[in-house]
Amino acid sequence: MSKLGLSQDIIEACRKDAKVIATQVQSHIDLHTTVSVERALLRMLGVDGVNELQVPIVNVVVDHVLKKANLSKGICHYLSYACHEYMLTPNEIAHKVSSGSIDLSIYQASPKSPYLSDIMPYFEKTLARIDQMKETRKSWINRTPEKTTPHKYVIVATGNIYEDIKQAISAVKKGADIIAVIRSTGQSLLDYVPFGATTEGFGGTFATQENFRLMRKALDEISESEGRYVKLVNYASGLCMPEIATLGAIERLDMMLNDSLYGIIFRDINMKRTFVDQYFSRVLSAYSEIIINTGEDNYLTTSDAFDQAHTVLASQFINEQFAIKAKMKPSLMGLGHAYEIDPQVENSFLYELAQAEMAREIFPDAPLKYMPPTKHMTGDIFKGTVQNVLFNITAVTSHQSIHLLGMMTEAIHTPFVSDRALALDNAGYVEKAFKNFGDEITYRPDGLIVKRAHHVLNQAKSLLDDIRRDGMFKTLEKGTFAGISRKEDGGKGLKGVFIKDSCYMNPVLDLMLKRLEVKHHAS
């Protein structure tokens, strides 16, 4: 039952505008592919490993086609011909391409491949592995006591996967429900995925398949001893978004940060590239039942959280529609927002509560990801602790889903184990003390909280009208989100975008969409 009395007509109008915006972008997506999508297809065909220079084989093969042939026909065109002619697996073909003993360019002038059936069993094998991971996750969750309070989300970021595992285990023992492994600074700008276990990262740990496997194994072991399933998070944003989403699905990650707008705005990745990458990644995440996390919370680290709150809501509406285009159900749409209003603002707590309640009411089935205060953390650990208490109260009161814990040492250093332990104690105390507080209170219809929520919703509707008129590309050029302008043909990765040839094939994307559609109708 609504506490805020928000206009359902305005909410529906926002969704209609957001759908038009997403459909405009989808018309671009449907016509294009990228190097990272094609590398993800190779990974789903079972291609793995690196060459003697430690370059991933998937990069070697795609770069080979780029240099000597026409990638717009899609990697499946070339691999299906080669697998049929040589009667080898895609992985064997790829390694022979790397060694120079097979040249895929000989198939460039060939008609649309009639040999798709030669590679489909390898896609099916990967999808069967992902299906197994889904069943394993469901089994764990069914054995885990259901929580009625937000899931406590804790970050590890040592740079060394083995040290990350130690810190993750200590956090789980103190009550963490979700472990997120932060990527090394700059990895989102690498146009390849590092290989193997890594021990040297700056500000985080490299996202690799082996690192995913190691952390998943460690969390499964501690889940068994603690009697509850601990979820694992990593980042599928950046230039390798589709590949990392693929590796996460194969190794049973449970959540992945996946938002093209974040990459465009904060990493200057070309918008034409990353919208295409996001679509493939989200279809895969929908199929794999991986919760995505979007990046709206980051807007407020560069924009004023009081004045620009409506941009967060507008982006949430748009991200919801992008997810729907990818056949994603609401329970997987981890839309983001944050507690970032300047604490010097009078009644800042009430404004934060209004924003959190509004998001919860508008997106009732979404596992909202609520971010802690960071922008206005000064290094005063005592004031920081109070700020985090207020944030924790808001999270519990407004029934947030994914509760990223705030650190009292924010703005000082990467958190120590002890800092995380104190954050978990803080959140645990508030979780118990305020457990049913939100169910016990109502808001005055003429009060500040209700008026603020209505005001932000109306502003979001006006902004969505503008975005629908201008289009998403022009909106991003105007710097509407986070006050940062990006050019349609600027940023990193544009050279990796291609218009699909009439021979282009992406059979695994088609298969996932078909299965998701069947599942949707069955439910």
Which candidate in 164, 259, 277, 297 is catalytic? 297
Active site residue 229: no
Q: How far apart are CA 145 and CA 520, in angstroms?
A: 27
Known catalytic residue at 277: no
CA angle 436, 408, 357 (to 5 degrees): 35
Q: Which residues contact 186 (CB under 8 A, 6 or more apart)?
A: 202
Q: Residues 44, 291, 517, 264: is their CA dihedral positive or negative?
A: negative
Query: Are 259 and 295 in contact, with CB atoms under 8 Å apart?
Result: yes
78, 81, 262, 351: which one is catalytic?
A: 262
Decide: helix, strand or coil at residue 234.
Answer: strand
Whether the CA torsion 435, 224, 422, 178 is positive or negative: it is negative
Are 176 and 230 in contact by the 8 Å Cβ rule? The answer is yes
* Rounded CA separation 511/507 (Å): 6
Burial class of residue 441 in the structure, from the number of CB atoms within 10 Å of its CB (0-12 exposed, 13-18 middle, 19+ buried): exposed
329 assigned to active site: no
CA 492 – CA 268 distance, rounded (Å): 6
HSE-CB at 153 with a 13 A cutoff on CA atoms is: 26
How do strand 32-34 and strand 497-499 relate by DSSP bridges? antiparallel
Give the span between the Cα atoms of 23 and 318, in whole angstroms.
10
Sign of the torsion angle spanned by Cα atoms 471, 475, 476, 481: negative
Considering the candidates 272, 325, 369, 461, report the single residue annotated as catalytic. Answer: 369
Q: Are 305 and 351 in contact (CB under 8 A)?
A: no
Q: How far apart are CA 7 and CA 302, in angstroms?
A: 30
Q: Is the dihedral of CA 511, 494, 253, 50 positive or negative?
A: positive
Q: List residues with catalytic annotation.
A: 262, 297, 369
